[in-house]
Amino acid sequence: MKLPIIKHLSNFIEENDQDYVLEAIETLESITEVPSLKDEELDVIGELISNMYGAVEVDKMIRDGMSQKEALNSFMGRVLGSIDK
């Protein structure tokens, strides 16, 4: 996951609508079912999907009252905490 991408997508959600990102996730998930995709291509698609899900989570925290900075830091703290376990 890349914080700058999650932040950019979070801004996109704020300016537009979360539905755009959710529909993009569904589209990318569907593409992963193509049998001829290479591992490297699946890795890139997986990274995009995880960043999009991260942005959706950050947006949820923002709507619950956190600032964007707090939400991003909290989310990344959870991600890094789960990696360390």
Please state, in angstroms and rounded to a whole number, the distance separating the CA atoms of residues 11 and 70. 14
Report which of 6, 24, 14 is spatially closest to residue 74, judged by C-alpha positions: 6
The pTM assigned to this predicted structure is 0.88
> For position 37, what pLDDT does the model report?
96
Q: What is the mean pLDDT of the chain?
A: 93
Sequence spans of domains, the chain: 3-84
| pLDDT interval class at 78 (50, 70, 90) | confident
> For position 83, what pLDDT does the model report?
72
Structure-block tokens of residue 3 = 């914080």
Q: What is the pLDDT of residues 15-38, one digit of tens each?
A: 999 999 999 999 999 999 999 999
- CB burial of 59-84 (b: ≥16 within 10 Å; e: otherwise) equals bebbeeebeeeebbeebeeebeeeee
